[in-house]
Amino acid sequence: IMPSKTLQYLRAARPILAFLDRGGMIRDVLRTERQGYLVRRDEPARVGGLIATLASAPRRHRGEPSAAVAAYSRREIARRFAEVLDTTCQRPESACPPLEPATGPTEFVSRGSP
């Protein structure tokens, strides 16, 4: 999961300070694009130092928007997902086992749920 703001910051060539305790898509993107800093939540001195460094010379820490950022756009991710679905749906029926109904209670929770 990656917040859409991340792509906006990358397109704007702004440095990103990300708090990550484990890997994930944001970590991979920041490493690939070399446009951000990854810190753990238990490193307050490092966080403070990075903020001071970035604030002292903001122009020096701006990157160039990369063409690779387009690979993470919603449109591109949707295109790749559709490609996977198309490939899967073109397989012979025997290659795709039928779905089994869920057993036991199921619950749908949305962000708007109390």
Q: Please state, in angstroms and rounded to a whole number, the distance separating the CA atoms of residues 66 and 70.
A: 8
**Residue 57 CB partners (closer than 8 Å, separation 6+):** none
pTM of the model: 0.52
Tell me which DSSP letter residue 72 carries: G
Domain map of the chain by residue range?
Answer: 4-89
Query: To which residue do tokens 């001071």 refer?
Result: 52
User: What pLDDT tens digit does each residue of the chain (114 aa) get?
Assistant: 677 788 788 888 778 888 876 767 888 888 888 888 888 888 889 999 999 988 887 777 676 666 667 777 778 888 999 998 888 877 666 566 666 766 666 555 555 544
**Total Cβ atoms within 10 A of residue 20:** 13
